[in-house]
A and B are shown apart, each in its own frame.
Chain A
Amino acid sequence: MNYISYADLGGREERRVITPEPENEVFHEPWEPRVFGLVLAMNAVGLWNLDMNRSARETLPDYLQLSYYEIWLAALEKNLWRSGALTDGAAPPRVLHACAVAAVLAQGSPYSREPTRPALFDVGQAVRTRAEPCGHHTRLPAYARGKVGLIQRIHGVHVFADSNAQGLGESPQWLYNVTFDGSELWEDAAHSVSIDAWEPYLSAA
């Protein structure tokens, strides 16, 4: 299976400067807020989950050429097409009504789940991340593959993005914060970098 993410940008060669932006600039084109609202409302319908949505976005072949909300729009169209939502007669499982918006946003969608087994790793323990790329959506960035870091924190058990994105169920796993010395990732780097990594990404080092 040939899965390509165009969104895994950490550490890539990049010379462009960053342009700061005032705090009150939320949207920049008149159509952007509508896309934002459409995507949130359609996510609430329940035809796909957060991780499927990320997967739909990161695999858009023109990802790097599109603006942020163009990515959202293209992925929404892709999700609609994939899910068959617009086929005649299909009914939405749920609809987000205006009166429910505040409550739904305030509630959020926690990704933590009850543990069913003890965590494999302890805080302070050295771990090595998986080195091989995988043929599906994953949240282990390429720059952090096959690297040794220390368990910094144990976040608890969370829905496993790799499984959830493929529609294979939540398969909850222990989630850790892992800290790398910058020099483990890049020559002469003096800073440190932390990622959040699910247990299946890690082995004892």
Chain B
Amino acid sequence: MSDKKPHSHSHEKTVNPLEQRVRDLEAVLTQKGFIEPAAIDALIDTYESKIGPRNGALVVARAWMDADFRRRLMRDATAAIATLGFTGRQGEHMVAVENTPDLHNLVVCTLCSCYPWAVLGLPPTWYKSAPYRSRAVKDPRGVLHDFGVHLPQSTRIRVWDSTAEVRYLVIPRRPANSEHMDEEQLAALVTRDSMIGVGLPRPVPP
């Protein structure tokens, strides 16, 4: 900032220029009747506390436990996921892709940041960043290394670039020795990263 003069109200916090720009824009849009600030609050609250990767974890846990659900999920993921109550924005056209011992799936959006909001919430920073978007389609094994994931060379990797309005959810492999676990315990093993394909589920605690 060019103005170095000490501010007469030194107890006031300096407002970040971006913060000010956003406040001004919100004030204008409110005054012109385009937005209702309470709706903004509701949108933020939804993605901060209601819609997030625990939705997807429940889908995965159900698929691990319930063979009939798994079949329906693989055939029509949008409809199967809707039966768990997860529908709508950025989940209108879902496809589930299943990891096997021979095949590992990884999801990216090289053109922007398309992501299955209805089951995973808003994407993490790295998912939207240039390093992930450029490298995932060209060197997925290198990307997996950044996440500490090392797959056998015999495992084929398929990368799904989300270039239209179809959203992909990876169904990771069920961890070994999890036969005794119930749905809630299984869901707790499912990480967000494992449903994007850059991670693996947590192992069963000894």
How many whole Å from B92's CB to the nearest CB in chain A?
4
- From A31, A85, A189, B18 is in contact (CB under 8 Å) with A31
The 0/1 profile, CB within 8 Å of A marked 1, for residues 15-31 of chain B is 01011011101101100
Q: List the B residue with the shortest CB-CB distance to A54.
A: B112
- From A20, A29, A58, B193 is in contact (CB under 8 Å) with A20
Contacts of A104 in B (CB 8 A): 89
Do A139 and B135 touch across chains, with their CB atoms under 8 A apart?
no
Do B22 and A10 touch across chains, with their CB atoms under 8 A apart?
no
State whether the Cβ of A202 lies closer than 8 Å to any Cβ in chain B. Answer: no
Do A9 and B110 touch across chains, with their CB atoms under 8 A apart?
yes
The 0/1 profile, CB within 8 Å of B marked 1, for residues 55-85 of chain A is 0011000001000101001001100000001
**With A58-B111, A101-B43, A196-B164 as contacts: A42 and B29 at CB distance below 8 Å:** yes
State whether the Cβ of A28 lies closer than 8 Å to any Cβ in chain B. Answer: yes
State whether the Cβ of B172 lies closer than 8 Å to any Cβ in chain A. Answer: no
- Range of interface residues on A (Cβ < 8 Å): 35 or more
Do A10 and B161 touch across chains, with their CB atoms under 8 A apart?
yes
Contacts of B191 in A (CB 8 A): 23
A161 CA to B134 CA, complexed, in Å: 22
Q: List the B residue with the shortest CB-CB distance to A111.
A: B165
- From A25, A70, A91, A196, B162 is in contact (CB under 8 Å) with A196
Task: Report which A residues bind B (CB closer than 8 A).
Answer: 5, 7-14, 16-21, 23, 25-31, 33-38, 40-42, 45, 54, 57-58, 64, 68, 70, 73, 76-77, 85-86, 90-92, 95-98, 100-102, 104-112, 139-141, 143-144, 153, 155, 158-159, 161, 175, 177, 179, 185-186, 189-198
Further 20 A-B residue pairs, CB within 8 A, beyond A26-B47, A45-B34, A90-B32: A9-B134, A10-B108, A10-B133, A17-B131, A18-B126, A20-B193, A30-B16, A40-B43, A42-B29, A98-B36, A100-B39, A101-B43, A108-B90, A111-B93, A112-B93, A140-B163, A153-B95, A177-B166, A190-B157, A194-B159
Task: Report which B residues bind A (CB closer than 8 A).
Answer: 16, 18-19, 21-23, 25-26, 28-29, 32-36, 38-44, 46-48, 51-53, 87-93, 95, 108, 110-113, 118, 121-122, 124-126, 128-138, 140-141, 143, 146-147, 156-166, 191-193, 198
